[in-house]
Chain A
Amino acid sequence: MTASQALDCATVDELAPAYGLGAVEPGEEQAVSLHLTTCPEPHAEARELIDAATLVSSTLEPVAPSAALRDRLMATIAATPQDRVVAPQRAYVPAPEPRRRWWSMGALPSAVTAVALAAAIGLGAWGVSANAELAERDAVLQTVASADVAYRVSGPAGDGWVLQSGEEAMFMADDLQTLPAGRHYALWLIHADGTTVRTGAVTDTDGVSVAPLEDVLSGAVTFVVTVEEHVVETPSSEPVLTAQLGA
């Protein structure tokens, strides 16, 4: 099976013992993990069996490692950098003073790799809560896995990503704040010369929102999202999400 195949609750319960023992195929393992992360059902029995499997190693009598192993390990880690996960950036970055139009301001936070994005999702940063959204989340993971680069988007409306694969790009966000009727999220690309281009919109904020960008990222320095009531040529409100591109 592939990771994109969603599992139903009965199958997950059936696979739980093998999953706990690491005895399922990688695709099954990922699918079970995602199901247990997202399913509203408790799966209590399955979780107990999975937890019990983590204790199998404890049935073995410990074996004393050699002193040389500890020395080798400590020498290795002293020379090994730690991987860092880019944390969500909730803080809103206000326009600098003297005040100028926010959409002409410079770059905002840094880019991350698709690997880091996948990591963040894998750890649950992408909080899909309903089982019905599992397939959607699988699609998200597939998209993330194929992206060449990902840029973190953050602001008071939530968190998201701009994913670029070749010449194409898309905006993705999870659980964006629901807007009043008649309003939508407008997506903008801002170029170094200040040119601002409307590049898409998000109207459905239920679960994971995905919107292809209508323009290439090349030449753009900042991506922003605003809340708009009408389709406008330039932003009419402060940004609710921002990201620096190309950093």
Chain B
Amino acid sequence: MTDEARAGDARLADRIRSGETQALGELYDRYGGTALATALRVVGSREEAEDVVHDAFVTLWRKIDRFDAQRGSLRAWLMTVVRNRGIDRIRARRSTVDIEAADERSLLRTGPNPTWDAVVTRTSVNELREALATLPEEQRRSVELAYFEGYTYREVATLTGVPPGTANGRMRLALAKLRDALSASSVSPNAAREGAFTEEATS
């Protein structure tokens, strides 16, 4: 995402807030591909993944009045809702969890600080992928179990046969590497690649 795209997100949020359905359509065109990829990675079924994406965008439409651009990005919120709803579908024990409450909690999450935000906007998707791909297996697996499969860090610990502190530590190292990849990208001559976060569907 470029700075321009980020500003565009803020404008889209304002238009959606004013009830402009076309603005939501534009948001969908911008992020639908990544939203579907995330949902598909979580639920595994294309049909179900499309339902998740549909529900996530409807949630965003309904709750846009509660979104505060000062607290985080529209994209991050959308992906969190997609992820939450995907996890809700795959985890039987979460069938008793109030997904609406989970959506509410997603709005409580703190947003990027300005410096970090500037770094993020200059980072390419490929660099992120490379950073994740080159993680040690146990770190990458911890992230995947948590983010895409919906396990808590305690459950990740049980699944991987380590103490909870170790599971959390692996997540910390993995995220730190992602963060460092972003930081390195921000000082790279090629850092400000335009359209780095353009999320047009490629398949």
| Chain A: interface residue total (CB-CB under 8 A) | 58
In the complex, residue of chain B having the shortest beta-carbon distance to the beta carbon of A122: B108
Q: A123 to chain B: which residues have CB within 8 Å?
A: 66, 68, 71, 107-108
Contact status B37-A52, CB under 8 Å? no
Is A218 interfacial (CB-CB < 8 Å)? Answer: no
B11 interfacial by beta-carbon distance below 8 Å: no
Cβ-defined contact, B108 with A83, below 8 A: no
- Chain B 137-148 interface mask (CB, 8 Å, partner A; 1/0): 000000100111
Given contacts A58-B34, A74-B25, contact A65 B201 (CB under 8 A): yes
Judge whether B158 is part of the interface by a CB distance below 8 angstroms: no
Which B148-203 residues have C-beta < 8 A from chain A? 148, 150-153, 156, 165, 167-168, 171-172, 174-176, 178-179, 182, 197, 199-203
Query: Given the complex of chains A and B, what is the CA–CA distance between A55 and B79 in angstroms?
Result: 9
A21, B150: Cα distance in complex, Å:
9
A72-B128 CB under 8 A given contacts A26-B97, A63-B37, A80-B61? no
Chain B residue numbers with a CB within 8 Å of A2 are none
Interface check B132, CB cutoff 8 A: yes
Chain A 78-103 per-residue mask, 1 if CB under 8 angstroms from chain B, else 0: 10111111000000000000000000
CB-CB nearest in chain A for B150: A22
Q: Is there an interface contact between A76 and B58, defined as CB atoms closer than 8 Å?
A: yes
Q: Pick the contact of B202: A34, A62, A83 (CB < 8 A).
A: A62
Q: Is residue B87 within 8 Å, beta carbon to beta carbon, of the partner chain?
A: yes
**B72 CB contacts on chain A under 8 angstroms:** 54
The interface residues of chain B lying within 8 Å CB-to-CB of A84 are 65
B104 CB to nearest chain A CB (Å):
6
Q: Report if A25-B200 is in contact (Cβ < 8 Å); known contacts: A48-B116, A49-B176.
A: no
Q: A14-B168, A22-B146, A25-B152 are in contact. Are A57 and B201 (CB under 8 A)?
A: no
The reply to whether A47 and B113 contact each other, CB–CB distance below 8 Å, is yes
* Cβ-based interface call for A73 (8 A): yes
Q: Which A-chain residue is minimally distant from B41 (CB atoms)?
A: A60
Cα A80 to Cα B54 with chains together (Å): 13
The answer, among A48, A83, A124, for a CB contact under 8 Å with B179, is A48
Q: How far is the CA of A15 from the CA of B165 in the complex (A)?
A: 9
**A33, B129: Cβ atoms under 8 Å?**
no
Which B residues lie within 8 Å of A107 (CB)?
Answer: none
- Cα A59 to Cα B147 in complex, Å, equals 12
Residues on B with C-beta less than 8 A from A29 are: 105, 108
For window 113-132 of B, CB contacts with A under 8 Å fall at: 113, 116-117, 120, 123, 125, 128-129, 131-132
Decide: A37 and B150 in contact? CB cutoff 8 A: no
11 example contacts (A-B, Cβ-Cβ < 8 A) are as follows A16-B172, A22-B150, A30-B105, A47-B110, A49-B175, A54-B73, A65-B36, A69-B53, A73-B24, A73-B28, A83-B65
| Nearest 7 interchain pairs by C-beta | A62-B33, A64-B201, A23-B146, A33-B108, A17-B171, A18-B153, A60-B37
